[in-house]
Structure 1
């Protein structure tokens, strides 16, 4: 039923090779256990109808969490992927401990909105900047979140969010979300470039996430953009990479001030001024596009993607970025992949977190519990 949709007792008996009484009892057991539900009736001939059964999406729920430097987004979804509760709050935390507490409080609140507790959640997936280190139970390369790289952090998160927690890189989850429900549906080789407070990239090859040998594939913020001897002065692995320093949100604001753009304290405001026709702001946007062209050209030479998606607080401004970006790519490379905006906006990471959680939860809820019930029933009838 999960794979083929709603079905009747006769059709299930035919497909499984089990007797109709066995199937009927199994359906009764599954319905009583909350795994299936009646979904109407179907006609099998004059005056004859049969009950349709379907997997019950309310049999379990998952929790997706997007931890960003500026925002914290959480959502609860049923097993059909329908979001039943959601929260979006600013991230004002300035320490890892405060952030863990805040995430726990928001998670407790959002599941309460859905009428449950954290212990009722089947699977929780967190999207975060950085590279998860399963052995050290920590995140590497997350300089924009203070203290987020300390050893044991993943254990702290699991302690407040529940066992079986999965923490994944946020750009990877954005790519999963766009392939599952967004602009990359049906595309097998693409990259999802997330440009905002930082710069990251999710890579999908042959329909699967590509993480690399150490999970750091896509950490393109560390590309040596415009590298000179002086660029290395003062740089350490705990600071943002060279490309990230040149093209992420803070650099856009800094460049805007250098160009005389007034009343722009954020990258969002710079882009808004550019939309309104501010010539200085437009010049800043064109320079940003030139920097991102270096990234697109570099990635195209290595991966040869069919599609480059732009997402994130800066990347999502494709109405201003794509034309100068495509022009700049053509000027520096013979490789010109299709460049397009993501379709999920600020929900890309959250959508990917939910999609990832659902794959695990459906197996946990339906396959394992369902198979156990059928096995028990078959044993009784044997």
Structure 2
């Protein structure tokens, strides 16, 4: 059944806006070439998008042809402002950006284990509001929150999970109640996969599995360009995967004895100590200050380049391959991304070691890549989620414009 004229206009408008966002600014001629639409159709959609306040003239192209230069059209970046939160067990990080994804302000708030639920929530909300004011962007249109644990696939709420601070759920509820904005919650590893897919190591892959290596361990499954969350929202809870080499098996409320016990930060640090690797003290004042100790251990081993460092990295790759092989045998993703702070610290060297071991363990060929975004992937993914929500709301406005 052919699309109705209004549906066709909506599809064309969204296509043009995506191109302007990704590749803009663009001239009408460039939009015609990229969309395959006729010149009159492009002229109409440009007029519609300008009337809706989504696109404006931002300059002129330098053309070699005779006559006036062509107008360059660009997204109105300040039409909507977005925020993302990366909620960890002991901290909250926030980033505020415009509709083009340009980061305008960032902040991080440590939250001690002895902090009560109400004080933790109030401090985190205050930090978000302060950061938005600093960026000059209040009020916010959409907010994407990345948090550990399970997200209910029906309600979209963060479920009460053993081992996570009570203030996590309180923060989400408070933001949803207080902010005049769309507030979205997603598992942190899933957001990292979105970011690595959009701008990171998996840009050319629509099917891959991301293995998050940070303070904890997690996985995200991307199949045909879509996240797969599972029936209960728990797809990728690989820390609970029973594996050989641990002292026991995990339980429904504790992942100790599962894959987490082999490759969580504490386990990796213990392995480093066994091989004589001293991670040293984290630097102060930089982005790496928030990295887990395991990331420092991996970097120290790579810097050392001696027999002890090589043996540690080999043993770590052995452990990673054990869990990764189970994922590969079930999903056959063709690509595995070692993400998070530890994955980025290991880089191509650790990725190559894991790929070599997977090739010996499985007949399913799997390329292993190092994530490029590190711990910042969660914030980037949160901004993408917020931007997608804003686009759904704002880009849809143009479809009804006469």
Q: Does 1:231 align with 2:248?
A: yes
Q: Distance in 1 between matches of 2:28 and 2:313?
A: 58
**Normalising to structure 1: TM-score of the pair?**
0.81
Aligned residue in 1 for 2:130: 109
Counterpart secondary structure, 2:235: coil
Aligned residue in 1 for 2:382: 353
- The alpha-carbon distance between structure 1 residues 27 and 210, as it changes in their structure 2 partners (threshold 3 A), is closer
Pick one of 295, 316, 319 that aligns with 1:291.
319
| Bigger mean CA offset, 285-294 vs 159-168 | 159-168
Aligned residue in 2 for 1:270: 297
- The alpha-carbon distance between structure 1 residues 45 and 27, as it changes in their structure 2 partners (threshold 3 A), is farther
Aligned residue in 1 for 2:140: 121
Matches within 5 A, 1:295-334: 295-316=323-344, 317-334=346-363
Pick one of 74, 77, 89 that aligns with 1:57.
77
Counterpart secondary structure, 2:85: strand
Q: Distance in 1 between matches of 2:254 and 2:179?
A: 27
Q: Does the Cα contact within 8 Å between 1:137 and 1:153 map onto a contact in 2?
A: no
Q: Does 1:37 align with 2:56?
A: yes
**Normalising to structure 2: TM-score of the pair?**
0.77
Q: Does the Cα contact within 8 Å between 1:100 and 1:157 map onto a contact in 2?
A: no
Matches within 5 A, 1:1-382: 1-3=16-18, 5=20, 6=26, 14-15=40-41, 29-30=51-52, 34-41=53-60, 47=67, 51-69=71-89, 72-94=92-114, 96-117=117-138, 120-133=139-152, 135=155, 137-141=157-161, 143=163, 145-147=164-166, 154-226=172-244, 231-232=248-249, 235-240=251-256, 242-259=258-275, 261=277, 266-275=293-302, 276-277=304-305, 279-316=307-344, 317-368=346-397, 370-371=398-399, 374-375=401-402
Q: Does the Cα contact within 8 Å between 2:140 and 2:181 map onto a contact in 1?
A: no
- Listed as ranges, the gaps of 5+ residues in structure 1 are 376-382
Q: Distance in 1 between matches of 2:73 and 2:300?
A: 55
Q: Distance in 2 between matches of 1:160 and 1:28?
A: 32
Q: Distance in 2 between matches of 1:172 and 1:359?
A: 15
- Displacement of 1:94: 4.6
- The alpha-carbon distance between structure 1 residues 168 and 222, as it changes in their structure 2 partners (threshold 3 A), is same
Which structure has the highest strand share of the two?
1
Q: Distance in 1 between matches of 2:327 and 2:252?
A: 24
Instruction: Give the alignment's Cα RMSD to 1 decimal.
Output: 3.4
- Displacement of 1:361: 0.4
Which structure: larger Rg? 1
Counterpart secondary structure, 1:242: coil
Q: Does the Cα contact within 8 Å between 2:278 and 2:297 map onto a contact in 1?
A: no
Give the length in aligned residue pairs.
359
